[in-house]
Structure 1
């Protein structure tokens, strides 16, 4: 019978001297393991280098086979298919070819990935389930050998747990919490100092006590396997929780079997990253998931994200969380268990609020990426594009070793600074995907266009694109239609997944990590964008309006006093309609192509402020603020200013919001500024004077440059060392500090008076100086009669 499933994990396994693809898939009846027929890793080599590779393989006793399948590179070089008996041989072949300067094409594509992509399997699949096979207790076979699979359409309902560990700085485990709809449990290693049983009445979870770390790990394995989840998630779970559990299990001489069919957790670390392999289950890190969904936070700490999304915080709020965790383990283990469990609950609630599991499933359906994989825009592009390219007789290129040359960025116009009434923002809808669709920008299209330039669409840097032979424009067109359907159905996760995928294609083509990298591709997108934005501004000014700024796909138009086209709303819609009509006519006439560019009226700012570059009369870029007018309300919007930047204090953010609000609404500002400065000098704003900045490298590596947060961290850890306390700031961590008369100091080691004049000069004055002159006021004049307390 035919069954449907969704891929949870993929891998290549070796049995004897042969390689097989192993897929774990979720079905309506539970998870099942599929093993393919023997698979033969493949790559391609230029026909002219076949003899050289043959000699090299023979000298090293490597069994390789060739077939001429009439493939060629995008530069029209004929290539021959190379196959090996197994993954090990292919790995050796890659190394030898690299050492001897032989180029192998597509040799870095993993066997399991190629197996799926060449069958156009993206997430969902169908497989043949024999009726005469032994079934598991859930009614489906544990493993199907020689599985026959094909693309399917199936949306799974996956089960999940969240997991969190607590330990000391030496990775000695205290407890492990698991939270799901099926189980809420904290397993605790009993401290000998607490011989009596814990009082656990009225807790929303069960506490199980064990007497050793080995027993803790064993109990955790049993609990996870009994629940049998499809997904294990957590916060920084790959880099921290899973890595620690793997190392502690190794130390205890245990195999940490938390995968399906008693398979073991496997951890690989490379270039500072941790890779987790767990057959039969997906491991999802909440931080990675939200970043993939393009969420932005000042800090991705669980405490901060929970505050922002849920209005909740972690149960431990101490500045030195590790010290507090160690104290609770010794003095109040129930409180530590509550903290441990609550972290799991917060992760579950964030997953529910953001629907990131739904998003990752949909992304997998669109691209074939595993749901536990972060990022992966290049891999997604290859999954979607490469099989189509093969069917046209082409193979991909190779990734440039030096990362390639940078392509021009998006268009940014020098702004006209000032304080304005009535500014409209006209926005091109998905500009770069629209350019790809309109001008047929595509790797295959470039190869075919250069062969037949007389009928091709000109690009930039010598590019020519075929009007007929291409894939990417059609791929985007299909995604565009799916996104419109998702919007109509109010399916936010699907709409967001499609938007991110479409917008990633430009970055992929300009990325040195992509085998399709070609400066002509990315430049033909961005430089076309420059041309479109400049032409749009010229057309708008021809109609009698002033363009004060342009940024990538947005044009800012000052319309104050010009009512020729009606209200601001009517003016914006009329301008958009006129520009769209002009583009359709221009491209039809000059290139005989259909225009997919579409500009929309996006925003009306009743008040709009564009600052100058600090210390200059020139207009800034990507920085502005204004009152955005909605159908029934108004809101102040900040872009790129102190109010939305994480490296400014809360004092600066609050001051900027209040000052701009007063200026925009023609309210008095002098009294407000004087009162605030007085409050700062009197110490009434101390809680808002904290800076927070992350160390980007180990503290010991800061030698020449000593920014304030580094000075504060060094000062703190010197004191910690003197007092016999743990060193908190040696590695990548966030430093919260204030500026005192003795210099920068962390919050837990403040020993001097705050330098209030610093905050007035560095946090208040720059914001005031940016906007006060536009209403004929001066910060110096306002504060002239306010002397410091200590002068």
Structure 2
């Protein structure tokens, strides 16, 4: 309901033939199950009460080939300008529809020449599969809703169309997961593997077509590619997307062209990038952030807001070289935030770290912060179940006594306050993610801002 609202809920209720009240309290998996069962009934297919189709035996070599998943490139580290991001629309469901992938169409006896890339399998050409029959109208309707959203002049209409297409997006996403779910009536892991095999092949084809058009691939992940070409224009990028779409047979949309785009290094392997971690600004001024601290649910709000403030300053840069001009202002924001931390002026609720309890408090084997907070609450009669969240504040990160390291936020203000040095460290680590590629790593930030307790009192 958060993303789709009532409009999306009603869209799914009509599509899946389910009561609104029931759909609001169930998962999208139940919705796609309802759709597929209805299609099977309409086709006169006998639906088994309990599935009895185990996974086929594979050798170790066959398993390594089949179970690769989607293709993910390691991004080239650095700061780039004139980068275009292109995304396949609902890639996996589109592959299932285009190549007729369904449990009953895989390895049919009539079409051995319709091969699946890399795998010793084939799909049927003669009869339409159940899963493609279900997905085709959803794909078409979502594409139509997205076009209506783009042409709508009224803000309320755009929001309605967006919520409806978002609801259909989650149905399509779930359909792929259920295709490989062993306990689902129409699930078959071999069909799931066939979809990812096609996706790897199509992504490589898109890469080759982009390079043939004079672009350089700097990153690709499953259903998206990032390509660079100096002084590239929007029209040239749109032409590339059309060329790839026609060649592959699946729509490729232009997400946008970046003014500047940063791929920061991994903290554990500084020479490598992280596939789903980047930040950039499109030419229309829109900021796109993935994988940074301000997007994580376990980042303290104060740290996330400080990083977001730095990013907002950098959005003023129109080219990569202009980023350096805005560094002094960004550093001033960091220094102000660090001073607030050192002086103890930040409310505890803005420093709370939210973590999910993954097991019963008594089952934790080592004193991680989540376990310590859960045990502290248990000592006062509050037992958290796996899946519940706990909020805590770091009070003394290096204390030999684990019970003193963190304090549940529910306990309120503590006499010892919070661990100022630790929170400044978290602040600088978050800043390093953005400013590191610009030459300001953690050590340089610490030295430049002179973040010592005495200097900030």
TM over 0.5: yes
Give 1 or 2: higher helix fraction: 2
- For the pair shown, which has the larger CA radius of gyration, 1 or 2? 1
Q: What count of residue pairs does the alignment treat as equivalent?
A: 411
Aligned to 2:245: 580
Q: 1:790 to 1:551 in 2, by over 3 A?
A: same
Question: Which 5+ residue runs of structure 2 have no aligned equivalent?
Answer: 58-62, 150-156, 318-322, 397-403
Name the CA distance, whole Å, in 2 between partners of 1:466 and 1:363: 27
Shift of 1:730: 4.1
Is the 2:55–2:188 Cα contact (8 Å) retained in structure 1?
no
Aligned to 2:408: 746
Aligned to 2:399: none
Aligned to 2:153: none
- Aligned-partner SS, 1:609: strand
Name the CA distance, whole Å, in 2 between partners of 1:396 and 1:572: 50
Aligned to 2:27: 374
Q: 1:294 to 1:515 in 2, by over 3 A?
A: farther
Which residue of 602, 605, 616 corresponds with 2:255? 602
Shift of 1:716: 4.3
TM-score (norm 1): 0.48
Is the 2:428–2:445 Cα contact (8 Å) retained in structure 1?
no
Q: How does 1:343-742 map to 2 (within 5 A)?
A: 354-355=6-7, 357-365=9-17, 370-371=22-23, 372-375=25-28, 376=30, 379-387=33-41, 390-391=44-45, 398=51, 407-446=67-106, 449-458=107-116, 461-471=119-129, 472-487=131-146, 488=148, 492=161, 494-559=164-229, 561-563=230-232, 567=233, 569-583=234-248, 595=249, 597-616=250-269, 617-630=271-284, 634-664=285-315, 665=317, 666=323, 667=326, 668=328, 669-687=330-348, 688-702=350-364, 704-718=365-379, 720=380, 727-732=381-386, 733-741=388-396, 742=404
- Aligned-partner SS, 1:444: coil
Give 1 or 2: higher strand fraction: 1
Is the 1:367–1:380 Cα contact (8 Å) retained in structure 2?
no
Q: How does 1:193-208 map to 2 (within 5 A)?
A: none
RMSD over equivalenced CA pairs, Å = 3.3
Q: 1:756 to 1:570 in 2, by over 3 A?
A: same
Name the CA distance, whole Å, in 2 between partners of 1:369 and 1:524: 36
Is the 2:70–2:196 Cα contact (8 Å) retained in structure 1?
yes
Q: 1:599 to 1:746 in 2, by over 3 A?
A: same
Question: Which 5+ residue runs of structure 1 have no aligned equivalent?
Answer: 1-289, 296-352, 584-594, 721-726
Name the CA distance, whole Å, in 2 between partners of 1:437 and 1:509: 13
Shift of 1:755: 1.0
Q: How does 1:752-763 map to 2 (within 5 A)?
A: 752-761=416-425, 763=426
Is the 1:400–1:515 Cα contact (8 Å) retained in structure 2?
no
Aligned to 1:771: 434
Shift of 1:507: 1.5
- Aligned-partner SS, 2:84: strand
Is the 2:238–2:254 Cα contact (8 Å) retained in structure 1?
yes
Shift of 1:576: 0.7
Shift of 1:556: 0.9
Aligned to 2:152: none
Higher RCO by CA contacts (8 Å cutoff, separation 6 or greater)? 2
Name the CA distance, whole Å, in 2 between partners of 1:431 and 1:581: 15
